[in-house]
Structure 1
Amino acid sequence: MMGGGNPILPKDTVTFNVGGKMFQTTSTTVANAGRNSFFGPLFDDNWNLDNCNNKNGDDQIIFIDRNPECFGVLLDLLRTGELYIPPHLPEKLVYREAEFYGVSDHVRGAKWGPFEGNRVRLTKSVAGRAPGDGTAIRGGPDGGCCVAHGCIVHVYDWMMEELPPLNLDYQIVNDVGWLDARHVVVSACERLGRGDGGMGLFNAANGELRHKFQVHHDNQVKSFTAGALAFSNMIYCSCKGRSNEYGVGVWDQETGQQVDFFYEPLGWSLGDADRLQWLPTSNCLLVATLFPRKDNCYISLLDFRAKSMVWSWSDIGHPNNPVLVDDKRVRDAIGMEDASSICVVNEFEDLGFIDLRSSASKDDEPCYPKLAFHNSQLFSSMNDSISVFSGPDWVLTSRLRHPYGGPICDFSIAGDRLFALHSELNIFDVWEAPPSPPFF
């Protein structure tokens, strides 16, 4: 027998009738779709296709009442790992069929390469409802995103189709974050005397409020304003109430119940925090309160196990720091555990690093006050562009720029995409990494 491969036995083949068109393939190809796909139930625990074959070994034809052209595209994707959509076939139709078959992750993986800031390209810009009211954008784990506009959070799936919005009934949104691919957590201001505000868990697909998080103090439920959010296996949120509910609250992701509260020490502003970030290696929460909310920057690391502030820093009393003196106020900060440092940026486009071990700073680099750290690359927005810094010395290696829409007020990286929200025209851009070239 010629060739090094094993022969395809009848029991290893399966035939589909999709909308009247026949497709025959192998168990190996179908298994590539994964256990959670439409095809998963065709296999037993040992990944055998016996359940869809007759006892005599003849193929059983499985009928699927769906679009046959799209099925052919997706079947070829499972065979080769490459996605080719004929020009006459609408991409959105293929994407929706991929959702039905549970192979959208395969489509995303073939359409976009691994995220690398120096390779991304602008693929589209999405206009919002009203200019100038965009406040935050957050990329979702499945390639979609959500955008906060005043009291509304607009949600987009990975095809950039808008889903039903999250409406907070005139409560201004402070922050928003993805708990998982199906749920979004929103924090909002309390309106004086109304007893609203706080945090809510929403269904990302239909906008339904699923749970409202509460703060308990002195055995009573308290009304509070919720600010910056962060996630680990818990939900963290900066809180500001009318009594003594100033600090950072902690809620269990599974039950939604409050499990802890770090009360604000005298002289610090945990309840007004602009950024929370969970640092998994340190097992601590970074809390940063920044200008213009406060005239001085306060950064701290909270260890909830020891109930202590294990590290803290403020730009007060650092006159020799070239980045953070006088009117050069800190506008954003982000922890980089790989470099054992915190990166800060001020309103004059100066970038500096605070060493968590010695509080020393490094040389300046130009950038603008929004930061992100992803796959060992540092990203910083500057007016209408985003700079990408790489390597141990954080060298500027690329700059992403799209001037339409005004300055960038927020950006987010998730999965294989970078989302950038422009402040003036309420437009957000989607940057994607092109797929790697095939090897022949």
Structure 2
Amino acid sequence: MVPKDTVTFNVGGKIFQTTSTTLANAGRNSFFGALFDDHWNLNLNSQSKPDIFIDRNPQCFRVLLDLLRTGDLHIPPNLPQNLLFREAQFYGLSDHVRAAKWGPFDGNCLRPTTSVTGRAPGDGTAIRAGPDGGCCVAHGCMVHVYDWMLQEHPPLHLDYQIVNDVGWLDANHVVVSACERLGRGDGGMGLFNASNGELRHKFQVQHDNQVKSFTAGALAFSTSDSNSKMIYSSCKGRSNEYGVGVWDQETGQQVDFFYEPLGWSLGDADRLQWLPASNCLLVATLFPRKDNCYISLLDFRAKSMVWSWSDIGASGPNPILVDDKRVRDAIAMEDASSICVVNEFEDLGFIDLRSSASSVRWSSRSRLVNVMKANKRMQLAEDEPCYPKLAFHNSQLFSSMNDSISVFSGPDWVLTSRLRRGHGGPICDFSIAGDRLFALHSEENVFDVWEAPPSPPTF
């Protein structure tokens, strides 16, 4: 006797039988979830259930059906992965495949899985991981976009405007900031469709009821307490539009502008980071853009700078040396109430956010002797350097150093692992999202993909 919840599929001429319970594992928004929708007029509990014909690849269907049954992904050697991924997208099972293909993100478990060589020669300027496991790479006046299958979509062209930063608004849209070309009235920011490269929207800066041309720099994205999603960007214009602008993600309208206080460099900011717990924006202007480092927290509700730090005249038990002042990157760690900074000699420093007059507590993990520092100064003078970068993800701190990325864990930020590949040269940028780490190397725009292997099955 056939169980009442049995469902029969004819996929490309091959017959498959499963149960509605198994299909329910696909989720309501999947192809199989639609079978239970009243609009399909399919009575799956009737005694005379018709076969459901699907004109798709039966070999891929077999793998995906087994994934729904067991939660495990087994891809036969003769089945191209990209074909399976394409079929997974058709059935709405991309999330299931990604979850089975790699496990929960842990920097200490990451393994290199593939390398992708960029289409353009020379160095890329930035890489940004997407929320669904894809990424984009900025290079000159172009942005190359890759989906989670690492298939390249049509690139984003900015008509000879140099890209400054890129950010994923969501899995389908990318925001690009670019330089204004003198006398052209262009530059600024644009919202692009990540799949086809279409320009969907341009963001404007208005001052005195006039639209101004401007150069957009670092980007950040947020969701405030009022559930309104915002885009932040450092801005430089020709008159008073110099500081940090704010736009509504839904409407694209400018909603605020934080004008730069005297002596600070908000318009030149290299790093913006939204801090959801404090509802503030971290703004950092770093060396070599400025000889001195400026870090501040902006509260747009109070229209004030609620915390700030600069290495100008900083004092304390550990006086700041010239080398220490050359901060290359900064990132806030709200759970630890601190900001981590890194200098050009790859020393980590920590600033206490709870104090308004904090000094940097430098870590001695990689402090170099004077001779080695002198050698590195010579190297920096001879070669175009790849400066250290920082990231914070899943309560772990990451720092790129030459051709490797160090992972620090625990309350004392102990070095727990180091990620390194034997090719590609120094790492000029890296990014983490979608349970993947992407590392962009300086040679030929090649980037590596790091993933955590799935957890072994338990019996």
Aligned to 1:275: 271
Where does structure 1 differ by over 4 angstroms across 4 or more consecutive aligned residues? Answer: 319-324
1:302 aligns with 2:298: yes
CA contact (8 A) 1:153 1:165 kept: yes
1:92 is displaced (CA, Å) by 1.1
Q: Is the 8 A contact 1:352 1:363 kept in 2?
A: yes
- The 1-side partners of 2:2 and 2:329 are apart by 59
Q: Aligned letter for 1:241?
A: G
What does the per-residue CA deviation read over 1:318-368, in whole Å, with 9 as the maximum and x for residues that have no partner? 244758422331100000000000000101111010001122443413396
Distance verdict in 2 for CA 1:372–1:14, change over 3 Å: same
Counterparts of 1:197-212 in structure 2 under 5 Å? 197-212=187-202
Q: Which shows bigger deviation, 331-340 or 85-94?
A: 85-94
Residue matched to 2:252: 256
Instruction: Find the aligned partners of 2:422 and 2:297 in 1 and give their Cα distance.
Output: 37
Which residue of structure 2 lines up, in the alignment, with residue 24 of structure 1?
17
Q: Which runs of 5+ in 2 are unaligned?
A: 223-228, 368-386
> 1:162 deviation in Å?
0.7
Residue 386 of structure 1 pairs with residue 405 of structure 2 = yes
Aligned to 2:384: none
Aligned counterparts of 1:419 and 1:56: Cα–Cα separation in 2 = 50
For the pair 1:95 / 2:85, whether they are aligned, the reply is yes
Choose 197-206 or 58-67, whichever is displaced more. Answer: 58-67
Moved more, 204-213 or 20-29: 20-29
Other-structure match for 2:336? 339
Contact 1:247–1:271, Cα closer than 8 Å, also in 2: yes
- 1:435 paired to 2:446: no
**1:62 positional shift:** 0.9
Asked if the contact 1:175/1:186 (under 8 Å) is kept, the reply is yes
1:37 pairs with 2:30:
yes
How is 1:354-433 mapped onto 2 (pairs within 5 angstroms)? Answer: 354-358=351-355, 359-364=358-363, 365-366=365-366, 369-433=388-452
Does the residue aligned with 2:125 lie in a helix, a strand or coil? strand
Query: What CA RMSD, in Å, does the superposition of the two structures yield over aligned residues?
Result: 1.8
Residue 50 of structure 1: how far off its partner (Å): 9.5
Q: CA deviation at 1:374?
A: 0.4
Q: How far apart are the structure 2 equivalents of 1:268 and 1:8? A: 75
Select 1:104's aligned residue among 77, 94, 107: 94
Letter in 1 for 2:456: P
- C-alpha contact (below 8 Å) 2:281/2:297 kept by paired residues: yes
Deviates more, 1:299-308 or 1:123-132: 123-132
Identity of aligned residues (%): 83
Alpha-carbon distance between aligned partners in 2 of 1:323 and 1:24, rounded to the nearest angstrom: 72
Amino acid at match of 1:390: S
Please show how residues 324-335 of structure 1 align to structure 2 within 5 Å.
Answer: 324-328=320-324, 329-335=326-332
| Unaligned 5+ runs, structure 1 | 1-6
2: CA distance between counterparts of 1:136 and 1:37? 34
SS for the counterpart of 2:64 is helix
| Greater shift in the superposed pair: 363-372 or 176-185 | 363-372
- Residue in 1 aligned with 2:112? 122
Q: Could you tell me how far apart the structure 1 residues matched to 2:434 and 2:366 are?
A: 27
Partners in 2 of 1:54 and 1:418 — Cα distance?
43
Q: How many residues align?
A: 430
Aligned to 2:214: 224
> For residue 381 of structure 1, what is the amino acid of its counterpart?
S
> What TM-score does the superposition give when structure 2 sets the normalisation length?
0.91
Q: CA deviation at 1:60?
A: 2.2
- Is the deviation greater in 296-305 or in 30-39? 30-39
Does the CA contact (< 8 Å) of 2:233 and 2:245 recur in 1? Answer: yes
CA contact (8 A) 1:334 1:372 kept: yes
Structure 1 residues 242 and 16: CA distance shift in structure 2, 3 A: same
SS of match in other structure, 1:294: coil
| Letter in structure 2 aligned against 1:389 | F
Q: Deviations over 1:399-425 (max 9, x none)?
A: 001141211111000111100011233
Q: Does 1:352 align with 2:352?
A: no
CA 354–19 in structure 1, closer or farther in 2 if over 3 Å, else same: same
Counterparts of 1:416 and 1:83, CA distance in 2: 17
Hey, what's the Cα distance between the residues in 2 that align with 1:401 and 1:273? 29
Task: State the distance in 2 between where 1:119 and 1:203 align.
Answer: 33
Cα offset for 1:9? 3.8
Contact 1:287–1:301 under 8 Å retained in 2? yes
Tell me whether 32-41 or 323-332 shows the greater mean CA deviation.
Answer: 323-332
Q: 1:68 and 1:260, CA in 2 relative to 1: closer, same or farther beyond 3 A?
A: same
Q: TM-score, normalised by structure 1?
A: 0.95
State the distance in 2 between where 1:237 and 1:325 align.
31
Q: Confirm or deny: 8 A CA contact 1:318 1:325 kept in the other structure.
A: no
